[in-house]
Amino acid sequence: MGELSSRQRYSGLIWLVAAAFFMQALDSTIVNTAVPAIANALGETPLNMRSSLTSYVLTLAILIPASPWLCDRFGTRRVFGIAIGVFAIGSLLCGISQTLPELVLARVLQGCGGAALMPVGRYVLVRSIDKRDFVQVMSTVATFGLLGSVLGPLLGGALVQYTSWRLIFLLNVPVGLVGIWLNLREMPEYRLERANRFDLLGFLLFAAASALLLTASEFAADETIRWVQMGTLVLLATAFGAAYVWHSRRTDHPVADLSLLRVRSVWVALSGNLLTRLGVSGMFLLIVLFLQVGCGWSPLMAGLMMVPQAVGSISAKWLVNRLLIRMGYRRMLFSNTLIVAALLAMFALLGPHTPVAAIALLVFIYGGFMGMQYTTMNTLIYTDLDVKYASMASSMASTTQYLSMSFGIALATLLMQTLLHGHGDAAAYVVAFRWTVIVLAIITAVASRVFARLDKKPMATVSSTA
């Protein structure tokens, strides 16, 4: 009765959070298929468009740590509703952008709104859903997020080929209006009567370190690498990061509570998530560029090739709970991460003459194992924490996710740019793609060693302490 009543009572909330995850994930990937078309319209090269991708996800990573305080101070319903509204306005500005800098600034505004969607959604679900149902509910919500991330390239390809790339962003406006209406109906109100003081200094230190690191990666991707500027930015980022660590230990309510890293499952979840996404986050863009530029596919055909990944992921994610009960988090994540790394390396076997069916099969299998990977990683951080730390854990998990995504995209494009050696022909793109996925596979495989540090305990024990 507990499981049925919990899911029935909060079914509207689950759909609202799932829709928000879908919209955010859709916008994180819908630009990928349209990159060549947008680059052509704005007079840029496809790889130079990376700033329109990384600016969005980096903004999410920087602003997400502020979401717990915003919820405590203003309430979950108000924060979630304003976030949807800002996201819709940013989408409108993206749709009318005329230059790459204008598009980047509009994407930053989008990120300002999107920063609250995922952590607030997770936090509300943790507060509202029974512990025994949490993995299953998160799997359902994550499925919609994954569906958005995979359908994004398909929808983007169709819009580019048959209409205009601007509709990619303008479609978010009516969706955002519906989301605001649903938020008023379904979102519960959680807030503190007296919120703690916001850690503004810590927030600025963290934001500076993250932004400087990504800016350094932009310098590294230039045709003529400016080593002095890049090295200076890295040193400054390290200094700001160290300053935040020092500061967080001396404040009562830090923007990111590093003391939670004393819990083994927390630091493993965050570091393993970081390494895994560093290896896989650039794959959407890489595959699209490989198919369109390297193989001469149309935007729609390249987007269609992402559908098998969605089907594979959705089909496999329902197995996660059973596999966790049988294997536990440690064995599950260790083995699944190695399989994902092997599948990444297999993409290096693809070429312009590879049969479409073979590419679709590999994408389908890869999607299945990545679906299980995401769901398992996203729930690991909560397994050994009391519910009172749920908001902070959600914020830290989301920050790590998007920070690693921004650096993963930057790393993938940096590797491609380096391996192209200034050549932009189709054959050069294929060769660069093959070597890039091999490097990313190695990085992903390293993450399996992090997950091996988890305690050996069955899923039943993990669930009871979530």
Q: Do both 235 and 173 map to the same domain?
A: no
- In a domain, residue 265? The reply is yes
Q: Do both 174 and 222 map to the same domain?
A: no
Closest C-alpha among 250, 362, 373 to residue 317: 373
Closest C-alpha among 426, 389, 282 to residue 344: 282
Query: Which amino acid makes up residue 133?
Result: D
**Total domains in the fold of the chain:** 2
- For residue 201, what are the CA distances in angstroms to 71, 115, 207? 19, 19, 10
Per DSSP, the three-state class of 49 is helix
Burial of 214 (0-12, 13-18, 19+ CB in 10 A): buried
What pLDDT score was predicted for residue 461? 37
- In a domain, residue 389? The reply is yes
Per DSSP, the three-state class of 424 is coil
Q: Do both 229 and 363 map to the same domain?
A: no
Q: Do both 273 and 144 map to the same domain?
A: yes
CB–CB of 308/363 below 8 Å? yes
Tell me the pLDDT tens digit for each residue of 77-117. Answer: 889 889 989 999 999 999 898 888 899 999 999 888 888 88
pLDDT reading at 352 higher than 80 = yes
How many whole angstroms separate alpha carbon 72 and alpha carbon 413? 39
- In a domain, residue 192? The reply is no
Q: Do both 438 and 409 map to the same domain?
A: yes
pLDDT reading at 342 higher than 90 = yes
| Mean pLDDT for the chain overall | 81
DSSP-derived secondary structure letter, 293 = I
The boundaries of the domain holding residue 341 are: 2-187+255-464
pLDDT reading at 248 higher than 90 = no
Q: Do both 266 and 317 map to the same domain?
A: yes
What pLDDT score was predicted for residue 223? 55
Q: Do both 180 and 207 map to the same domain?
A: no
Q: What is the CATH number of the domain that holds 171?
A: 1.20.1250.20
Q: Do both 354 and 287 map to the same domain?
A: yes
301 alpha carbon, distance to own chain's centre: 24
pLDDT reading at 149 higher than 80 = no
Q: Which residue has the higher pLDDT, 314 or 411?
A: 411
Q: Do both 225 and 259 map to the same domain?
A: no
Helix residue spans in 347-425 (DSSP H): 356-380, 390-420
CB–CB of 404/277 below 8 Å? yes
What pLDDT score was predicted for residue 404? 83
Q: Do both 95 and 172 map to the same domain?
A: yes
- In a domain, residue 230? The reply is yes
- In a domain, residue 194? The reply is no
Q: Do both 326 and 308 map to the same domain?
A: yes
Q: Do both 102 and 247 map to the same domain?
A: no
Which pTM was predicted? Answer: 0.74
CB–CB of 118/268 below 8 Å? no
Closest C-alpha among 138, 450, 150, 152 to residue 317: 138
- For residue 152, what are the CA distances in angstroms to 142, 314, 399, 426? 15, 15, 22, 24
